Structure 1
């Protein structure tokens, strides 16, 4: 398994960022403080305009004289405010030809820190808006406030803030040279990854790791340790990465309602795949954790 570019960086790829979210500016009537704003259009499918270049893809930002109506303020970098809006695909943006419209899964690994961080933020906040157009309390249409960072129920005055769903993703090992990988039926043939699941109400992340592993593959784990986190705005998750060691019986008992297949893999199998094993794509925190384990950084 070839390590990712920049594998010496301890951050998962989507954990990168090069901007200041400028959260206090959201309270101002004009978060941009009269400055021109760079605006990114995101279509209904979550894709954005891209230009290809010799150093890789770059997002196409449209410079506007002020924050547009309906835009969400993303923050600033080097004194330049950034924002995002929902919009339609077009062949050009601000007079620049669009080479392609692509999504975060396609682009995230190839963008620089600034564009990667802004795009992850833009996708996440716009997805939240799509799901909170109406109040869960009264059904009334909510109104947007704080430069796109809250919505309010006009009948009760209740304020709703962007929500993030915590999920755990864990590399389960035997304390030596083997790791458990599983696959879902909807994945491409041969694709295996580390285990994952959502944190339940009233549950710690560490408890969720132990519960999900036992539910999916029938193994009990101990020595649950945090590794890293990464936003995964599809639609609104935060992936919390862990490693855990099997405690006791190492026989895998797959729950077919959870995953299709699971088995033990050695480091050597992951270093030199035989053509049948497809590891997670570079954009995922699963690949980041696997790379570190293969390189013996998570013993």
Structure 2
């Protein structure tokens, strides 16, 4: 459970930080186009952004309907959907070495964790959930993102001066500070199609983080994500730890109860059949006895005895 919420949190953070950067690099419909073109390359799934409202003068942006779908072979509607994201940037910092993001607010993220097979062992819940996680949509997306990053990172050859091109590009990156990061009413639905089958919603929760990169006087986007992701992971883990284990445990108990009921029902059925057979056998025995008695009497009469 800890690992899956970590991956969920990490993917949400990476997507949101990337979109925030897109918002203030591109403008208007170009943001939507950039997100929808780049997203599928990263995730190997459908990525849609319905609407962007941007005010460069006030440094405010509102994004609605950001959806990351599932890779092929998964059947739920999406991996996660962020219907309402609002961003505020300190306009005085735009164009400077350090861009100050005053707040990122994400309202009611809709997350679906889909398992192809959920195997649950009550004697080792952690291991069984980790094994089940390997069949999930989030692991599939994570692998796609990792593969894209690895491929894009390539060799990153050396320049004539001995420094790598990636190092020089990193030096040109803007630095960021995120003063306020909020995720409210996070909703997670867990779906399993095989093994321990389930389709259940976990209790909603919220996350609140402040001053990311402020102590360092700004961090490059990749480092912002590296700092923010573990914090979001920890917050999600604290909020959700045990929820999925409890759900799986309850389902397992219910399954056990159903098995017991089925066994009891089968035993009663067998008992009923046995009694019926016994009754039938008894009736047959009486019939045979009567027939034998009748035959004996008939023989006696026949031979006059």
Give the TM-score taking structure 1 as reference length: 0.23
Structure with greater proportional strand content: 1
As a proportion of its length, which structure holds more helix? 2
